[in-house]
Amino acid sequence: MKRETLAARQERVAHVIERLGRVYPEAECALRHSNPLELLVATILSAQCTDERVNQVTARLFRKYPTAADYAGASAEELEAEIHSLGFFRNKARSLRACCQRLVEEHGGEVPRTMGELVALDGVGRKTANVILGNAFGANEGIVVDTHVARLSGRLGLSRETDPVRIEQDLMALVPRSEWTRFSHWLIWHGRRRCAARRPDCAGCELRAWCPSAGGCSLASRTRSVAGGADRGGRKGDSAVSSRAALDAGGSRKSRSS
């Protein structure tokens, strides 16, 4: 991939942002929610599961457990039965109950509004915190890096990194802060609709003029083993669509100091 100056990349990103904004003006978080708690729950449940399936389960779940105290007070068996179809249900149920217990004990049952307080919750890493802050509170504290964002960041020449934290840092240096949340949505939507992992539609891509990988994505895009953004360097792994969450969900209980 040909190297370019920071100024040149920023100019190219400006074109990418303008184009994506016109192509996907309706882009938003795919997880259905009506308040911060619902989004937090849905994001924790979304590890290694499609948003569509999560939405099917949470439609009932949100009615049955409207408050953090309801989740904290539910038995493990009851909650596991409710989310069984989502996979890794035991660990997800454990994270939900522990997370909501802490919300009740330390935050009056409300979802906190700061990165530090959010990542201190069970099942919440930086990526999940970015989802909550950007979509529930309108606060651009970072950029959500999932599999689509990681893949397109490489193909568009915005980052050479494979670690999601480093990819996020690269993107934050290129994308205006006011666009951080929407930029994630745009790349996710574009990744699902146009720039697929195996067979990207380069010929029909709206970003072709600004993409250094256009026509040769199979060569230009290195395989990224981030699977939605493991939270390296943080206290906990990220439960929102991350490979590390899948490992957590499939096995051992996370310690509070991990």
* Res. 4 pLDDT band, cuts 50 70 90: confident
What is the predicted pLDDT for the residue at 172? 97
Vertex 92, ends 51 and 106: CA angle to 5°? Answer: 110
DSSP 8-state assignment for residue 252: P
DSSP codes of every residue in 93-115: HHHHHHHHHHHHHHHTTSPP-SH
Which domains does the chain carry?
A: 6-27+146-220 (1.10.1670.10), 36-140+236-250 (1.10.340.30)
* Res. 227 pLDDT band, cuts 50 70 90: very low
pTM over 0.75: yes
* Res. 173 pLDDT band, cuts 50 70 90: very high
Minimal CA–CA distance to 217: which of 197, 238, 237, 194? 197
What is the predicted pLDDT for the residue at 113? 97
Structure tokens at 244: 């590390």
**Residue range 31-35: mean pLDDT, rounded:** 97
Minimal CA–CA distance to 91: which of 200, 218, 247? 247
Write the single-letter amino acid at 165: V
Alpha-carbon distances, residue 211 vs 9, 125, 152 (angstroms):
11, 31, 10
What is the predicted pLDDT for the residue at 3? 74
Tell me the catalytic residues: 127, 146
What is the predicted pLDDT for the residue at 249? 33
pLDDT digits (tens, 9 = 90+) for 109-132: 999 999 999 999 999 999 999 999
pLDDT digits (tens, 9 = 90+) for 63-105: 999 999 999 999 999 999 999 999 999 999 999 999 999 999 9
Percent of the chain with pLDDT over 90: 79
What is the predicted pLDDT for the residue at 47? 86
What is the predicted pLDDT for the residue at 217? 60
pLDDT digits (tens, 9 = 90+) for 183-224: 999 999 999 999 999 999 999 999 999 999 997 764 444 434
Residue carrying structure tokens 């035991």: 90
